[in-house]
Amino acid sequence: MARMTFGPGRHSRRGPKPGQSGNKSIREIVEEIRAGLPSKENYRERSLTLHGLICARCGREFTSAQRQLLTVHHKDGNHLNNPADGSNWENLCAYCHEDIHSRELLGEYLEKGKK
């Protein structure tokens, strides 16, 4: 009779097989997601190109050397909402962007206080 060794003492020979097709497809999916989703830098550059190097709030203009001072603000607050026409983006200087978000937080705080 052949001895069947089941149970916790079993020595499994399952290891990472060379050329596993399962791993490859997962990696492919990840790469597809990476390629499909607009990265932060991608939508930032697109927004700067669409709306220009100018703060939408204070009107301060920036040269391309100063472009890192502009941030792309999402009007609806949803960073995943990146329509290609730029309708959800606003180019704001760091100061105005700070200001907008601190107001948002203050607004939430006040809203909670009312309830």
Under rule CB under 5 A, residue 44 binds Zn ion: no
- Reading the block at residue 3, the tokens are 């001895």
Q: Which of 26, 58, 105, 106 forms a contact with Zn ion (CB under 5 A)? A: 58
Are 67 and 54 contacting, i.e. CB atoms less than 8 angstroms apart? no
Among the residue ranges 3-11, 19-27, 28-36, 88-96, the one whose residues contact Zn ion (CB under 5 A): 88-96
CA geometry: angle at 26 spanning 16 and 39, to 5°? 135
Q: Which is nearer to Zn ion, 48 or 93 (CB)?
A: 93
Of the residues 50, 51, 53, 57, which one makes contact with Zn ion according to CB under 5 A:
57
**Residues found near Zn ion in the complex (CB under 5 A):** 55, 57-58, 73, 93, 96
